[in-house]
Chains A and B, each alone.
Chain A
Amino acid sequence: MAEKKMVATREGYGEALLELGAENPNVVVLDADLAAATKTAVFKKAYPERFFDCGIAEANMIGIAAGLAASGKVPFASSFAMFAAGRAYEQVRNSVGYPHLNVKIGATHAGITVGEDGASHQCNEDIALMRTIPGMVVMCPADTIEAREATKAAAAYDGPVYLRFGRAVCPVINDKPDYHFEIGKGTILREGTDLTIVATGICVGSSLEAAEKLAEEGISAEVINICTIKPLDEELIIQSAKKTGKVITAEEHSVIGGLGSAVCDALCKSYPVPVLKIGVQDVFGESGSAAALVEKFKLDGKGIYEQIKDYLK
């Protein structure tokens, strides 16, 4: 396999904001003292009159975004996932979700790959929190290209959207000329017949690696990339489950309430099959490099491969 380019998904977010700033004068970007880290700083530099640093006050930032949206703006409110979805959960729920306002939440530094900052900053619960809010679109891009396209799609969509990005670099997998992004559509990145891996975020790249290893042993794994966790592409997942009869989900998030739960919700109502949920197993993270952590939490290619092998025993 050729060496993949490694870029963090938050980079794609910043690039998309810059493009959107040029295209749409109503796009406004808010941050909470993390502009350099969330990559909103590139927008700030280009469109200072449409960038507002709310200071370290995420609850108020979400409320301001709601007020801007109610006045016709298209606000992107950014912070780390821990604070955007965690600290400001109730503001997102009541000030954005309930009135179904056109607010986009750009949450970076999600999951354990925050790395050295440790568990206080490693949000493994945001997908679960956000997908319970009626009408909220939840997206978790697999690479910087998808991050860019998902951000642009979010701007074009009328309604609240939660975008989940990572801090650490991950392989670019969507650098194909026919790549096309659509909210709510999953993609089969690799066809297989023995089992289906449904993955999101950085685990998409890891799952492709795992599928490669499995193939060496004659196990044919289908890999589905789910960027939009809500609304979920249920049809695609069920079709694949019908073919393979075995589903594994993989996510850099708690196995409680995230992609794995969403997939189980979809399968259990129309085509129940055994599901192995790979992710953070109801524990907090810890300090370490992103690479060391994905290895420890078995979310890299090797880890996912090993967990699937154990499961197949």
Chain B
Amino acid sequence: MNNLELKKIANEVRKGIIASVHSAKAGHPGGSLSAADLFTYLYFEELNIDPQNPKMEDRDRFVLSKGHTAPGLYSAMAHRGFFPVEDLITLRKLGSYLQGHPCMLHVPGVDMSSGSLGQGVSAAVGMALAAKMDQKDYRVYTLLGDGEIQEGQVWEAAMFAGHHKLDNLVVIVDNNGLQIDGAVEDVCSPYPIDKKFEAFNFHVINIDGHNFDEIRAAFKEAKETKGMPTAIISHSIKGKGVSFMEGNADWHGKAPNDEQYEVAMADLVKIGEALDKEEA
């Protein structure tokens, strides 16, 4: 899939995020939008998965450790064909399988329930360990927030993964720089993130999280890295794609009202039109 195709899908994924969070009147658009390009790349290029057979035995695993960005995950998965795109607007509603945070018992293709920060990464480490024990070559990917890495459990997991040289594990940190209470560096700085993972015996790659060339190259490099797990630090913009949400911590966990929804969708439609023009 070329970059333009990926960009177009990512834009549709972003529309799904806005539509679902708006419909739910709650949820986390900021970190879903910042990771939308990663979700798109993972589900449309990187992961060896089959939407028709979500429990395929030797599939790659993906654990959304920053589970609050479920709208991004759900939108990418729906567009990939795991479930109907129309269902996205049932997000967070009573009786919907699209719970506020991902639940593996309810959503086909979700490999691990998550939401309590710091926990998904440990489960991903367990999955990578299982693959090694079984001498299987499937890979395990997990996405963390940059605020999330303030959780001590993340570093317990990193220590274990480094110690066991789990080179089938890719830990991605969506470094959008913002958490609920403000900038991560003001709240309780996790920087330098790359040096920390290096110290835990990871191979570390810094990328622009909105540049598909860099995303593609990083996952390729991760695959070629042997003897140690890889951490990809994805430098991104919180709220990416929606003018009034970009770089604004207020949009971490808030839904747009009807008026804001119209503006957000208009922004994304405009981006879509520009991509169409690029294609022509």
Contact = CB atoms under 8 A, between A and B. Distances in A.
Interface stretch (B16-24, B107-115, B176-184): B107-115
B113 A71 contact: no
Given A98-B103, A100-B105, A66 B112 contact: yes
Interface in A62-115: 62-73, 75, 90-91, 94-95, 98-100
Given A60-B153, A60-B156, A91-B153, A67 B103 contact: no
B139 to A, nearest CB: 13
A232 B159 CA distance: 40
Given A54-B160, A59-B122, A99-B105, A67 B112 contact: yes
Interface in A15-62: 28, 49-50, 52, 54-55, 57, 59-60, 62
Given A49-B133, A70-B104, A99-B103, A65 B160 contact: no
B153 A66 contact: no
Given A70-B123, A99-B105, A94 B130 contact: no
Interface in A199-215: none
A99 B115 contact: no
A67 B113 contact: no
B62 to A, nearest CB: 12
Chain A contact residues (Cβ within 8 angstroms of B): what range? 20 to 34
Nearest to A32: B156
Q: Interface SS of chain A: helix, strand, loop or mixed?
A: helix
B98 to A, nearest CB: 16
A155 to B, nearest CB: 17
B113 A64 contact: no
Q: Interface SS of chain B: helix, strand, loop or mixed?
A: helix
B119 interface: yes
Contacts of A49: 133
Given A52-B129, A70-B111, A91-B153, A63 B123 contact: yes
Nearest to A75: B126
Contacts of B164: 52
Contacts of B3: none
Nearest to A58: B156
Contact of B126 (A59, A64, A90, A99): A64
A70 B116 contact: no
Chain B contact residues (Cβ within 8 angstroms of A): what range? 20 to 34
Contact of B123 (A52, A55, A64, A73): A64
A94 B116 contact: yes
Nearest to A52: B129
B122 A63 contact: yes
A63 B156 CA distance: 10
B123 A67 contact: yes
Contacts of B127: 67-68, 70-71
B242 interface: no
Interface in A244-292: none
Contacts of A66: 112, 122-123, 126
Contacts of A50: 133
Interface string B127-148: 1111101100000000000000
Contacts of A98: 103, 113
A71 B160 contact: no
Contacts of B134: 71
B101 to A, nearest CB: 9
Contact of A91 (B61, B112, B119): B119
Nearest to A65: B126
A55 B162 CA distance: 13
B130 A72 contact: yes
Contacts of A68: 126-127, 129-130
Contact of B113 (A52, A55, A60, A99): A99
12 contacts: A52-B129, A54-B160, A57-B156, A59-B153, A60-B122, A63-B123, A67-B124, A67-B125, A71-B61, A91-B122, A94-B113, A94-B116
Interface of B: 61, 63, 103-105, 111-113, 115-116, 118-131, 133-134, 152-153, 156-157, 159-160, 164
Interface of A: 28, 49-50, 52, 54-55, 57, 59-60, 62-73, 75, 90-91, 94-95, 98-100
Given A67-B63, A73-B133, 8 more contacts: A28-B133, A59-B122, A60-B156, A64-B122, A75-B126, A94-B116, A95-B123, A98-B103
